[in-house]
Amino acid sequence: MDTPKPLQTATAPELAEQDANAQAYAEDGPNSAIDDALERILGNPPAAECPIMVLLVDDQAIIAEAVRQALADETSVDFHYCASPEEAVRCAEETRATVILQDLVMPGTDGLTLVRQYRQKPATRDIPIIVLSTKEEPLVKSAAFAAGANDYLVKLPDRIELIARIRYHSRSYLNLLQRDEAYQALRQSQQQLLATNLELQRLTHSDGLTGLSNRRYLDQYLAAEWRRGTRDKTALGFLMIDVDNFKAYNDTYGHVAGDEVLKRVAHTVESCLGRSPDLAARFGGEEFAVVLPGTSSGGLRLLAEKIRLAIEGLAIPHAGSAAGVVTISIGAANIVPSATEPVTTLIEAADVGLYRAKRDGKNQVSVSG
């Protein structure tokens, strides 16, 4: 800005570009994992149609043969047998059992200990366990349920009853697995949706070249801080920053180099800010703005000088500048907002200061008011 410019609002093309960037991200966002999970869940058959994996853990082969024969005509039931208590947990994991028939009395490790071991392993923690006992004993039955068993049968049970209980517990377990998978997919979807929305918000609020807040967000933020200052009777500071002789820089070094200068200036301006409420934004072209809530006039000038010196310290060569390097001019204003005045009062005051800094030789700070 080498001559005074009228105040501008964000143009329709600028807003359209911001919206297009956000829309492009929304369409290309990382949704494939969610789609795959949902497709997998929706493609799963109902629990009643899923194959049933029965694991019998019993040291007596005669019992295993009896159970195998009882299930032989059940085409949707796969039968697996483990005679060693030391191998029981591993077998349950490998066979992906949907129900475990666990004998209570086994050599070495008793059945209740195995029930507890199943419940301690994440892979077998929720698998239904039907305890098999030689007799109906209330104390033993109570201990089995306390250890984590789901059901209790006296062996050998009636075939129809055995199959009914196996199907009931397996169906409940498969329903649980499907609910858990659906819940995990939903949680993943919610987390990715949140991340996508945050990124969309960032893109909507960010300047595509510099990464600073864009003009749209600057206007929103400044209006909100104006209202806050009006309510709290606290001062609101504003810096209007312009890169000196920027047209000459573009004419000499090219627009690509000019874009790099704007990026470096933007990064430097933002790095000079030390408080979370302070906001740096691209105002338009080679102009930048800084909103400084609750800042004194003295603090405003100190920060403006800090930014000016930091830009000059970058020592970016500029043949068209009196200093020989890229410099900036800054107009500053500090006002206690009033409900009777528009927020543009603050921008106009800083703009007057910027014009004065340009008029008086550039590469300097001028505070209005």
CA distance 236 to 228: 9
Strands, DSSP E only, in the chain?
52-57, 77-82, 99-103, 129-133, 151-154, 236-243, 279-284, 287-293, 328-335, 365-368
The reply to whether 260 belongs to the active site is: no
Report whether 85 contacts 96 (CB < 8 A). no
Question: Which residue in the list 94, 286, 305, 312 is annotated as catalytic?
Answer: 286
CA distance 3 to 216: 24
Specify the residue for token string 């501008």. Answer: 8
CA distances from 61 to 68, 82, 84 (A): 10, 10, 11
User: Which residues lie across from 152 on neighbouring strands?
Assistant: 131
Angle between helical axes of 344-359 and 215-232 (0-180°, round to 10): 110
Residues catalogued as catalytic: 286
